[in-house]
Amino acid sequence: MTRRRLIIDCDPGHDDFAAIALAVTSGVFEIEAITAVCGNAPLPRTAANALAIADALGTSIPVYAGAVAPLLHRYDFPAAFHGVTGLDSAGATLPPPRRPLAPGHAALEIAARVNAAPGEITLAVVGPMTNVALALALDPDIASKVRELVFMGGGIVGGNVTARAEFNIWADPEAAAIVLNSGIKTTMFGLDVTNRAFIDTDDLKRLRAAVPAPNPVADIIQFYSERSGDIAAGRVPGPALHDTCPIAWLIDPTLFQTESLSVTVETAPGPGYGATDADRRTWAPDHLPRIDVALELDRPRLARLVTDALVEAARRIADRR
């Protein structure tokens, strides 16, 4: 079976780490590049984390640094959730990478790779969309050459940074508007499903038992779990690994149910800044650009797939020590 050619654009980020581990260990992707963007932490940190993850998993995937800042929005980085490094751990950390970042800017690399392989490259975007928006601004024609784009971001039912806006979109709504209006075949995994994409206590125990200490994968996920408001409130038993959803869908589309909707991003200043609004009227005009939006998921099967990937990642990291 030919592997799906994939670029992962991310802001590691604990759930970005889980998404990369899922993609790498699944065996179904030819991961052409990992591109980093500012988001959960400043760009130097997210790029360093992406490189450490790719290297610790034993891959030679090139990692490129991208946008240092969103197109317009400026905000304080959410260290409360991901720590000052962007990938803080409750104990052991990933080993330092044995190679440097690849030269060149992520946006230029995305455009160059898509142009070199029209119709071949899938973009998985699990952070703010600044790099992809920049690539589209540099070369708008790539919109017709991207095989498809899957992303974690937004939410029809509401937000997490504000009542209406989810972090990845809120961090750079103007970039998201550029990407969602580009005409690229797009599938959205918003909070509608990702808030329910949690692994449970049995999954966490299985991860903890995967390898003898040190187990940096378990410790990193534990840090993230200890900062989950939903766990603290007793709403879920374990951490929601938002960014794994688009990758899991590429691996097994039966894990989710999607609906074709017209989705707009609010870029006007105010309480709705960064919100993703879906037109769910059955008589909605057909001329508006539509994307596929995931609205339901098979959580137990998703959790099993993600936990299997995290266990395999823990084993690969242990074997490289």
Residues that bind ligand RIB (CB under 6 A): 11, 13, 15-16, 39-40, 126-127, 152, 160, 166-168, 242-243
- Name which of ligand RIB, Ca ion, none residue 154 binds, using a CB cut-off of 5 to 8 Å depending on partner kind: none
Q: How far is the CB of 221 from ligand RIB (least distance, A)?
A: 13
Please give the DSSP secondary-structure letter assigned to residue 94. P
**Interacting residues of 66 by C-beta distance below 8 A, sequence separation 6+:** 9, 35, 36, 37, 38, 43, 47, 105, 106, 107, 130, 131, 134
- The per-type count for the chain, helices as H runs and strands as E runs, is 13, 9
Q: Which does 66 bind (CB under 5 to 8 A by kind): Ca ion, ligand RIB, none?
A: none
Q: Which of 11, 15, 172, 192 is catalytic?
A: 11
Distance CA 111, CA 160 (A): 31
Query: Which residues contact Ca ion by CB under 5 A?
Result: 11, 13, 16, 126-127, 243
Residues 6+ apart with CB under 8 A from 272: 164, 165, 266
Minimum distance of ligand RIB from residue 152's CB (angstroms): 5
Give, as one character, the DSSP assignment of residue 275.
B
Least Å from the CB of residue 192 to ligand RIB: 12
Minimum gap (Å) between residue 36 Cβ and Ca ion? 10
Q: Which amino acid is at 211?
A: V
Give whichever of 183 and 229 is closer to ligand RIB, judged by the CB atom: 229
Kindly state the smallest distance separating residue 10's Cβ from Ca ion, in Å: 6
CA–CA gap between residue 318 and residue 215 (Å, rounded): 8
Burial class (CB in 10 A: 0-12, 13-18, 19+), 315: middle
Nearer to ligand RIB, 146 or 240 (CB): 240
| Complex with ligand RIB: residue 135 or 245, whichever CB lies closer | 245
Residue 166 contact among ligand RIB, Ca ion, none, beta carbon within 5 to 8 Å by kind: ligand RIB
Q: Which residues of 79-108 are buried (b: 16+ CB within 10 A; e: fewer)?
A: eebbbebbbbbeeebbeebeeebbeebbbb
Residues 6+ apart with CB under 8 A from 155: 166, 190, 191, 192, 195, 276
**Nearer CB in complex with ligand RIB: 16/109:** 16
> Among residues 211 and 236, whose Cβ is nearest to ligand RIB?
236
The DSSP element (H or E) to which 277 belongs, if any, is strand 276-279
Return the one option of ligand RIB, Ca ion, none that residue 160 interacts with (CB less than 5 to 8 A, by type). Answer: ligand RIB
Verify whether residue 11 is a known catalytic residue: yes
Residue 62 or 128: the one with the smaller Cβ distance to ligand RIB is: 128
Q: How far is the CB of 82 from Ca ion (least distance, A)?
A: 9
What does 167 bind: Ca ion, ligand RIB, none (CB cut-off 5 to 8 Å by kind)? ligand RIB
Catalytic residues: 11
